[in-house]
Structure 1
Amino acid sequence: MNVAHRLSRAGMAGALTTAALMLAGCATGQPGNCAEGFEAFERDTLYFGRSIPTGGQVSDADWTDFLDTRVPAFPQGFTVIDAAGQWRGASGQVVREPSKLVVLLHPRDAKADAAIAALIDTYRQRFAQEAVLQERQAVCARF
């Protein structure tokens, strides 16, 4: 399944509901202890800010190019969500910016970990980003 979904803020509620239903398949919340019919996966959510510190934003064309050339390392599929983010950088200044969340569902292994690290490093270098937030959870899912 190679799917990229683009959701509005209203669609975020649906995405969160889907995530909650996927988690409902976990018997104990521990990886490997999934209810019958479910498989253990890792879910990484990556938060990509689109403001460029030197000015401007990552354009839609640049984002699409990044997505098309870097994220295919996850052939199982992924979801992209439009978001409005806020964070405090190393300077202490609060930054509000349009953002993209990429949700990856994958087996836990060194290959996936290396691909995610490379994805983050590439984005940070290409668009002069101070950080890309990575959030990880063990989940149970079925398709």
Structure 2
Amino acid sequence: MPHHAMDHKMMHSTEMANFSDTRISLNLPPMMKQHQLSNMRGHLDAIRNIIGSLSEEDFAAASNIASQQLGSTKKMMAMCNSFDNEEFKTMGLAFHKSADRLAETLKEGNIKTSLRALKTTMNSCVSCHATFRQ
């Protein structure tokens, strides 16, 4: 491992050792926690596939992924509404609505506006993950 990489790793480890997780716990039972984590990994995979589709200029595929895997489907709405924490529920619903807007923007076939919409959707992810923990 190069010296500078080791320095970075050591610095990161030191920072993490001093880190106190102040995010709000959702206090999920183990089975629901695993289900939620699996769902989040699915969202991340969908984002990866959207980026892949954009790299191939396949806006239709990217739009379908955004709509079907991230959008406000009945399944996703039911899941969001099943949580007791109102702030988490609100953030989850906002994320899925932003994915609906992303899907519509992708249909336009404009890379700049598509990337802006993707950034907005990703901002929802970052904000929620910065606020909550399982």
> Higher relative contact order by CA 8 Å / sep ≥ 6: 1 or 2?
1
TM-score (norm 2): 0.29
Structure having the higher strand fraction is 1
Structure having the higher helix fraction is 2
TM-score (norm 1): 0.28
In our comparison, the structure showing a higher alpha carbon Rg is 2
